[in-house]
Amino acid sequence: MSRQFQDYFTAYVYKNKNNDSSNGGLSSRHDQVIIFRSELSIPYIVEIIKQDNLDIDKCVQAVYRKQIEYVHLEPISAHVDVDTIHSEKIEYIDKWCMFGGCYVSSSDSRFKECVHQVKYPISLHDRIE
């Protein structure tokens, strides 16, 4: 099985065309995202992005907050300095992500597996300040 089917897949962004609250987040630029499984480490995801020549601006990861039983998606670019992704020394950062008003969902059976068995659209926290 290809890594694409094991570690990531594409899903659609559901958004209100009349109101963008993402403050220039990825949902303001893209209608689809590439979702990575929550158990993958950021350095591993960066390697996949480089090897498979993926657009890091479209890449998100499922984040599960166990203490409040909440699942959302965060851009990989909030955790990696995008300018260093193709250099020998990648710089890791940690920016605060907030809900920007959009949701992500898919009819792909892997969606539920990737987002901790949640059966409804997941909020996209692509507003970064």
Give residue limits of the domains in the chain: 3-128
What confidence tens digit (pLDDT) does each residue in 15-28 have? Answer: 887 777 888 888 98
Phi and psi torsions of 47, nearest 5°: -60, -40
Task: Please give the pLDDT value at position 124.
Answer: 93
Hey, which bits of the chain come out as E strands?
A: 8-14, 32-36, 59-65, 70-75, 97-98, 102-105, 122-124, 127-128
pLDDT greater at residue 98 or residue 3 = 98
Rg (Cα) of the chain, in Å, rounded? Answer: 14
Phi and psi torsions of 89, nearest 5°: -110, 105
- Residue 74, sorted as left (phi over 0), alpha (psi -120 to 50) or beta, turns out to be beta
Whether the predicted pLDDT of 1 surpasses 50: no
Average pLDDT of span 39-54: 91
Task: Please give the pLDDT value at position 22.
Answer: 82
> What pTM, to 2 d.p., does this model score?
0.87
Whether the predicted pLDDT of 46 surpasses 70: yes
Task: Please give the pLDDT value at position 94.
Answer: 80
Binning pLDDT at 50, 70 and 90, where does residue 33 land? very high
Average pLDDT of span 57-66: 89
What confidence tens digit (pLDDT) does each residue in 75-127 have? Answer: 998 888 877 777 777 787 788 888 988 999 888 877 877 777 777 889 999 99
Of 38, 39, 64, 59, the residue nearest 48 (C-alpha): 59
